[in-house]
Amino acid sequence: MPKSWVRQRKRDSYYKKAKATGYRSRAAYKLIQINEKFGIIHQGDFVVDLGAAPGSWSQVAVELVGKEGRVIAVDRKRMQPIDGVTVIRGDLTHPDIFESIHEETKDGVDVVISDMAPRLGGNKHLDHARSISLAETALDFSIETVRRGGNFLAKAFRGDLFPAYMEMVSSRFDFCKPHSPKASTSSSREVFVVAKGFRG
């Protein structure tokens, strides 16, 4: 990481807040802000968190669902355990991992959230295309697992493939909107697709 990036991050208020509150990453505040605005996760929900490491979204999700709810976290990277969260390690672009998660989710889940991001290679177009491909993987997973009426959230990078992705999500959910929470840095091209009311 460049030193200037590390210095800038340490000055960042969400980074400081995350450190102080015990969230594993400043990304926690993106999910908190999205949920405050759109109400995608509720008490008692069964949530699957895709691309979950280091785990701050899962920490937030487990607080939101409470004791009656359930959270499964999936990532290709190793992730430290979180109380109340089932961690599954694997690459979501690999069909085997889909099968092992389906064992856990075969009765349906209420919400799928995905903060999956590709390893950035510096080529904007390629990074964008890879992020859309991961967002499509998340959508495919949600189509197979989310119950009717359930909700979906996925991260993507803005670019020319984004409108077609929005259409794909819109065709499956009653409500679909792109959103950038305040906690996303202003220089970031990331955008979150918020979708509610899965139609099947």
Residues engaged in binding ligand SAM (CB under 6 A): 24-25, 27-28, 51-57, 75-77, 91-93, 115-117, 134
| Closest residue to bound ligand SAM by CB | 51
* Least separation in angstroms between CB 49 and ligand SAM: 7
Which residue's CB is nearer to ligand SAM, number 28 or number 65? Answer: 28
Which residue's CB is nearer to ligand SAM, number 57 or number 157? Answer: 57
How far apart are alpha carbons 99 and 193 in whole angstroms? 25
* Least separation in angstroms between CB 89 and ligand SAM: 9
Which residue's CB is nearer to ligand SAM, number 135 or number 176? Answer: 135
* Least separation in angstroms between CB 10 and ligand SAM: 18
Which residue's CB is nearer to ligand SAM, number 51 or number 69? Answer: 51
Active-site residues: which are they? Answer: 155
* Least separation in angstroms between CB 24 and ligand SAM: 5
Sequence-distant (≥ 6) Cβ neighbours of residue 21 within 8 angstroms: 28
DSSP the chain: --HHHHHHHHH-HHHHHHHHHT-SSTTHHHHHHHHHHH----TT-EEEEES-TT-HHHHHHHHHH-TT-EEEEEESS-----TTEEEEE--TTSHHHHHHHHHHHTT-EEEEEE---PPP-S-HHHHHHHHHHHHHHHHHHHHHHEEEEEEEEEEEE-STTHHHHHHHHHTTEEEEEEE--TTS-TT--EEEEEEEEE--
